[in-house]
Amino acid sequence: MTTALHWQTEGQGSDLVLIHGWGMNGAVWQQLLPLLTPFYRVHWVDMPGYGHSHDISADSIEEMAQLLLDKSPMSATWLGWSLGGLVATQAALLAPERVTRLVTVASSPRFAAEGTWRGIQPQVLDDFRRQLGDDFQLTVERFLALQAMGSPTARQDIKLLKQAVLSRPQPNPEALSIGLRLLADVDLRAQLGGITQPWLRLYGRLDGLVPAKVAKDMDQLAPLSCRQIFAAASHAPFISHPEEFVQTLKDFIK
């Protein structure tokens, strides 16, 4: 049985850690790597329960962050997409000396809608959790479609995301269920004041999972951070707009 997370490293320059989202694996960054590796030493991981880390489990966002910190560079920029952004944020809180810069992509400290807080309706997350028991592959495919919804290149986005999922072992159904529970329950809003390192927040204006209006709410919760909204992107701007995405990242790290 695998006892360590599956990491890959390529490139030269300052260290950059990439963390994928729910239902995915490290292959989701494949399209981006040729644009990043000439400038950065890129480290990308299969999260617990996903891809080649299929046999590893983590029950909490803190445990996930600690597992990644255990084998990550001593000092790096951390970039997390969607659920991965939540993990990267937790890592920045746990080890600010290790996470020297934070980049969150289409992510939120509280994914579920609550009161006036914008997010995914809890009923949607509950439905996905119930569907997992019946047909988890179909559930993941539906989630991929939801991530690309609104993007002008939705069909191509879905194709690239699906290729990444299918290129590695299927995610562990238990890890998928845990991930949906974390998306429904985790709330880091009250802790964001503890993040003092440079922080870039990236959003897609057409995102149906993390509404772009969350960016304005986050301006109040994390006033030291900066943000950019990709006008024609949905939940995966690095898939639909890779060159613009990488240029924004380079400008931030520089």
Sort residue 197 into left (φ over 0), alpha (ψ -120 to 50) or beta: beta
Find out whether 235 is annotated in a ligand binding site.
yes
Find out whether 54 is annotated in a ligand binding site.
no
Which parts of 127-244 are beta strand (E)?
Answer: 199-204, 226-230
Find out whether 82 is annotated in a ligand binding site.
yes
Find out whether 145 is annotated in a ligand binding site.
yes
Closest CA to 192 of 67, 82, 92: 92
| Contact (Cβ atoms closer than 8 angstroms) between residue 210 and residue 81 | no
Q: How many CA within 13 A on the CB side of residue 108? A: 28
Find out whether 81 is annotated in a ligand binding site.
no
Find out whether 146 is annotated in a ligand binding site.
yes
Active site residue 6: no
What residue type is assigned to position 191 of the chain? Q
Active site residue 127: no
- Choice among 43, 52, 235, 241 that is catalytic: 235
Active site residue 75: no
- Choice among 15, 46, 207, 217 that is catalytic: 207
- Choice among 53, 82, 107, 240 that is catalytic: 82
Find out whether 43 is annotated in a ligand binding site.
no
Tell me which residues are annotated as active site.
82, 207, 235
Q: Which residues make up each annotated binding site for substrate?
A: 22, 82-83, 143-147, 235
Q: Which residues make up each annotated binding site?
A: 22, 82-83, 143-147, 235
